[in-house]
Structures are given as C-alpha cells and as structure tokens.
Structure 1
C-alpha cells in the first residue's frame, strides 16, 4: 500500500469536506471543482470517510468503499457525500452543522484473507492495526481498525461485533464457510472543524 504524505492527507481531508459542503450547501455540485488540486492522487485504494460531532467525537456518519474500483481522488468525493447524506443510522448532515463537525479519512490497504481455527484467527488479529471484513452468504460487514480501540474490545469482541455489523448472530465467525479478511489503514483527520489536519495514530484515541 502506498504511504501518503501529510500533505497528501491534508488534500484528501479537504476534498472530503469540500465535497460535503458543496453538495449539501449549494444548489449546484460540480465534481471537477472538488477534485481540483487532487488530480495527482490517482492511485487505487479503498477509502472511508467518517464524520464526527465536535468536540465530543461522537459519530455523525461513516461510509466508504473497500474495493478500489476508481482512483482515490474520485472515491473520496463519493464516500464523503455518502457519509454525509446516506448513512442509514443518521439524518443527512445539514449546512448548519458545518462548523460543528470534523472530517476523518481512512485509506485502506488491500484486504488479506485469514485462515485457521477460531483460536488461530483470534491470535492473528492485532488491535489497533487490523480492520476486519466478514463475508457469509449474502451478509457482509466491515469494522475499521479504530473501532475496537475506541470501544476497548479484545479480538473476540471485535469478531463478535463484526458479525453484528453484518447482520449475523455473534460467534458466527467461528463457523465453516465464513470468509474473514483483515486490512490496515492510514488515517488523516481534522483536529477541529476546518482546522489543522494531522495523521492520526490509533494510540491517540
């Protein structure tokens, strides 16, 4: 996975905020205007955009794409708009919230399939490094590496809650036929609304 510089991370976060503010707050949305300045970011990576209330850091929206089907410069715009307007857990973000939210961008590595017994799979997981994906039948769920850190979960709790996220019963991850994958992320976030962007280390959460 390409490692992004802080400057490139700043460009991604600012593009995500611009996409949200223009899409939500303007009658006319032009993708070209948002992508201006990030044209060189044409690598293909999965990406997630997370929106937090400020200063409480409570979740306001989070949507992204695990599969790198488009250059990151395009996917960041789509993920940002979706996080602000399509997360089914929340009402869409309004323009009145722009000064009270912070934007976080997670760039995903390619997911790596995990194998072994349930105990072996648990032992492969490093909290704070790994995000997880589960696929089982028509069910699919993903949790970013930051989630177990914020929630104080161990590996088994992480896996159980991954099942819940996918609409499955907890402990289903132990069954045959379940596909589990892990990935890592590089995370950039605003320190305050429209403020300084920094690369976020999970131990800082």
Structure 2
C-alpha cells in the first residue's frame, strides 16, 4: 500500500493513537495494545512524532523512524513514547504536562538518495514543504521533516 492511501480519518486516528500511547505509558507504565481499524496502518512506513507545548508551540520532543521498519501503528506507538520520554534534548514528559502538549504525526515515504555533482544543485532537487532531508556524514546524521522548513 502507498502513502496516498492514508487519508484524514487514518491521520486523525494516528494522532489519537500517539496521544493515548503517551498517556498510557506515563500513567501506568504499559505500552498500548491495539488492533488498528484501517488495514493501511498495518503496512510498514517511516513515522515521526513531534510534541510541542500549548499555547506557545515550543518543541518538547521529536523522535521517529525514517525507514519503514515497523507497521505504521506500532511505529507510531513506539515513536510517541520515545518522543515523550527519551528525546535527549528534553527531560521526560510529566503527568502535569499531558494536557498542554500538542501531538503531531508525520508519515514518511521511503527515503530516496539524491546524487548530485555539486551542492549548488540541491535547491533545484528539493521541494520545500514536500521533501524532508536526511543528512549523513560518517556516524553522524540528522533529519529535517518537510513541515519544519515552512
């Protein structure tokens, strides 16, 4: 199945799933178990869960899977918990913060390598707001989600 098969209903389900996964893990230490109502969510996709504060909109956590290594619903649960508790840039989310966190789920297409003969050609090969970027050099790397640039 392709990412084009993920619509508004599936997206809304993923956001609610991510929030429930965080709440369940923080409140009772257990991982949420679900049987997703949409078949597409059982397919492997990359996914990132981003948490931000409300109303200020400050980043509070962002972790995910750039590669499609897990069924989307499972990857969403794992990424949500990790974004809330394991992002090394922030302390773990607390019970008191649960009501003031905005949850965003970004479903990714498989990464494609861009082969260029010069860095100057990069802008003409990347669509801002549509393409994300993964940059790697040796053991180091980073990822920029498409919506971060807009």
TM-score by length of 1: 0.68
Q: Which of 11, 14, 17 is the aligned partner of 2:13?
A: 11
Q: Distance in 1 between matches of 2:31 and 2:83?
A: 18
Give the equivalent residue in structure 2 for 1:159: none
Give the equivalent residue in structure 2 for 1:189: none
Which runs of 5 or more structure 2 residues have no equivalent in the other structure? none
Task: Call closer, same or farther: CA 1:137–1:18 in 2, change over 3 Å.
Answer: same
Which runs of 5 or more structure 1 residues have no equivalent in the other structure? 150-205
Q: How many residues are paired up?
A: 146
Say which one has the larger Rg.
1
Q: Distance in 2 between matches of 1:44 and 1:37?
A: 13
Give the equivalent residue in structure 2 for 1:85: 85
Give the equivalent residue in structure 2 for 1:175: none
- What SS does the aligned partner of 1:49 have? strand
Q: How does 1:123-202 map to 2 (within 5 A)?
A: 123-149=124-150
Say what the alpha-carbon RMSD is for the aligned residues: 1.4
8 Å Cα contact 1:39/1:73 also seen in 2:
no
- What SS does the aligned partner of 2:42 have? coil
8 Å Cα contact 1:12/1:38 also seen in 2:
no
Q: Distance in 2 between matches of 1:5 and 1:125?
A: 24
Q: Distance in 2 between matches of 1:60 and 1:85?
A: 10
8 Å Cα contact 2:54/2:102 also seen in 1:
yes
8 Å Cα contact 2:21/2:31 also seen in 1:
no
- What SS does the aligned partner of 1:31 have? coil
Give the equivalent residue in structure 2 for 1:68: 68
Give the equivalent residue in structure 2 for 1:43: 43
8 Å Cα contact 2:10/2:38 also seen in 1:
no
**Deviation for aligned residue 1:135:** 1.6
Q: Distance in 2 between matches of 1:146 and 1:5?
A: 18
Q: Distance in 1 between matches of 2:131 and 2:38?
A: 29
